[in-house]
Amino acid sequence: MNKLSSLHCEACRSGAPLVTQEELQEFMLQIPEWCLEIRNNILQLERSFAFSNFVDAMAFSQKIAELAEAESHHPAILTEWGKVTVTWWTHKINGLHRNDLICAAKTDLLVS
Amino acid sequence: MNKLSSLHCEACRSGAPLVTQEELQEFMLQIPEWCLEIRNNILQLERSFAFSNFVDAMAFSQKIAELAEAESHHPAILTEWGKVTVTWWTHKINGLHRNDLICAAKTDLLVS
């Protein structure tokens, strides 16, 4: 099994394949803290991270933004006092691409 | 009428007064771009701002974070590609305090 966090996002076009259920089951083992959510009929990956204040939460959001730019793939980041909630999905295919699993794994690495 | 954006937040304790309907009607005239939303039975102030990419959106979120620290009052900031959604409310009183209206007005000033 490839280590997700060592992979990089590929350019994603409309019509690119959604992650299969088999892939999802296999790869979710590497990112056990992430939850699957369905919103507006779109499957998404989500995790919340706890911090002790707003500044630390925002600093983490900034790190995620830098990861997103590096991978040219962008999540939704909800920053609150002491909490950051990150949601990855792929707009172009209205669901989860392997890129989302890769970015979730890379997000986990940002936690110091 | 006091200009909201020129005021500063006061320390807010549990039991502090919620904004009255009269105050809300008066002050909302100064922040016409903001919407009132009720979530989990809590009245909140919300506005979305559009940007042309993720980096600009994140830079705006960072400015809001600096405002929040300066006022010791913290919103929820949802950062997405090309969009920032800011939500102000006061946890301690489960609703809107005058601080929220002040911070909404100050948020408007951050738009360059």
Q: What is the dihedral of CA A18, A23, A29, A34, to 10 degrees?
A: 10
Q: Please identify which residue in the block is written with the tokens 């909140």.
A: B44
Confidence of residue B56 (pLDDT cuts 50, 70, 90): very high
- Mean pLDDT value of segment B51-57: 97
**Alpha-carbon distance B90 to B12, whole Å?**
8
- Complex prediction ipTM: 0.95
**Alpha-carbon distance B80 to A77, whole Å?**
7
SS3 A79: strand
- Mean pLDDT value of segment A14-39: 94
Give A78's contacts in chain B (Cβ within 8 Å).
Answer: 76-79
Closest Cα to residue A107, out of A22, A49, A23, A43?
Answer: A49
* pLDDT greater than 90 at residue B112: no
Give A63's contacts in chain B (Cβ within 8 Å).
Answer: none
Residue B1, token pair as written in the block: 């009428």
CA atoms in the 13 A half-sphere facing the CB of B9: 25
Per-residue model confidence (pLDDT) at position B14:
85
Give B90's contacts in chain A (Cβ within 8 Å).
Answer: none
- Mean pLDDT value of segment B44-49: 98
Per-residue model confidence (pLDDT) at position A1:
59
* pLDDT greater than 90 at residue B65: yes
Inter-CA distances, A109 with A18, A91, B32, Å: 24, 24, 42
Of B69, B76, B78, the CB nearest to A76: B78
Residue A55, token pair as written in the block: 């500044």
Running DSSP on this structure, what letter comes out for residue A19? P
- Mean pLDDT value of segment B10-28: 91
pLDDT tens for each residue of A54-100: 999 999 999 999 999 999 999 999 999 999 999 999 999 999 999 99
Instruction: State what percent of residues in chain A have pLDDT above 90.
Output: 90
Q: Judge whether A95 and A43 are in contact, CB under 8 Å.
A: yes
pTM to 2 decimal places: 0.95
* pLDDT greater than 90 at residue A112: no
Per-residue model confidence (pLDDT) at position A99:
96
